[in-house]
């Protein structure tokens, strides 16, 4: 873990470069987040059965030896999954799409892939978390516990 100098001061947030509003970006929106996963069976179980997301599209990419899984909480009726173009157009209109990327073979112990680094460990700082809002945090956590989720950190732990 690195140590900060005693006289360290973080950047003044009022001096950070945010830039003026640029009308050429007014139609931009946040599309999706991609996370690499170790084992699609484990990850899809968590995101669909535990968090209640809907698996919208599975896209095997044999040339690259990976498969992408697209999930979301649909805000409208999901189109016919056999119509790729229509489905992908609809998917990119959704908010908060999660793309899980499985590089083939990472689920094998011999791969050495450690897909569960959260970014909260000193030697792996970077990625922090994704946020899913729920109606009642404690009820949701009780449900997760009953479904066998092993917490790395519970909400009451800060």
State whether the Cα torsion 137-44-95-27 is positive or negative.
positive
Q: What range does the domain containing 147 cover?
A: 30-157
Report yes or no on 95 lying in a domain: yes
In which band, very low, low, confident or very high, does the pLDDT at 131 lie, cut at 50, 70 and 90?
A: confident
Is pLDDT at 25 greater than 80 in this prediction? Answer: no
Contact 57, 85 (CB under 8 A): no
Nearest to 42 by CA among 146, 128, 129, 115: 115
Q: What does the pLDDT look like over 38-68, one tens digit per residue? A: 899 999 999 999 999 999 999 999 999 999 9
Please report, rounded to a whole number, the percentage of residues in the chain having pLDDT higher than 90.
46
Is pLDDT at 1 greater than 60 in this prediction? Answer: no
What's the token pair of residue 144?
Answer: 């997760």
In which band, very low, low, confident or very high, does the pLDDT at 111 lie, cut at 50, 70 and 90?
A: confident
Q: Helix (H, G, I), strand (E, B), or coil: what is residue 77?
A: coil
Other beta carbons less than 10 A from residue 70's beta carbon:
22
Under DSSP, the state recorded for 87 is H
Report yes or no on 103 lying in a domain: yes
Between residues 12 and 114, the one the model is more confident about: 12
Report yes or no on 14 lying in a domain: no
Between residues 114 and 66, the one the model is more confident about: 66
Task: Report the pLDDT value the prediction gives residue 116, as an integer from 0 to 100.
Answer: 60
Report yes or no on 131 lying in a domain: yes
Q: How many domains is the chain partitioned into structurally?
A: 1
In which band, very low, low, confident or very high, does the pLDDT at 124 lie, cut at 50, 70 and 90?
A: low
**The domain that contains 105 carries what CATH number?**
3.10.180.10
Report yes or no on 11 lying in a domain: no
Task: Report the pLDDT value the prediction gives residue 59, as an integer from 0 to 100.
Answer: 95
First-to-last C-alpha distance (Å) of the chain:
20
């Amino acid at each position: 873990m690195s140590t900060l100098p005693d006289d360290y001061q973080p950047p003044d947030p009022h001096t950070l470069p945010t830039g003026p509003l640029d009308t050429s970006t007014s139609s931009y929106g946040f599309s999706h987040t991609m996370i690499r996963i170790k084992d699609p069976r484990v990850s899809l179980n968590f995101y669909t059965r535990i968090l209640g997301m809907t698996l919208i599209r599975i896209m095997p990419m044999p040339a690259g030896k990976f498969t992408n899984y697209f999930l979301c909480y649909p805000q409208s009726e999901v189109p016919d999954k056999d119509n790729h173009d229509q489905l992908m157009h609809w998917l990119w209109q959704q908010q908060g799409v999660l793309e899980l990327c499985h590089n083939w073979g990472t689920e094998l112990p011999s791969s050495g892939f450690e897909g569960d680094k959260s970014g909260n460990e000193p030697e792996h700082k970077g990625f922090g978390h994704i946020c899913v809002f729920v109606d009642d945090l404690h009820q949701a956590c009780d449900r997760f516990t009953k479904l066998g989720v092993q917490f790395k950190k519970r909400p009451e732990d800060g």
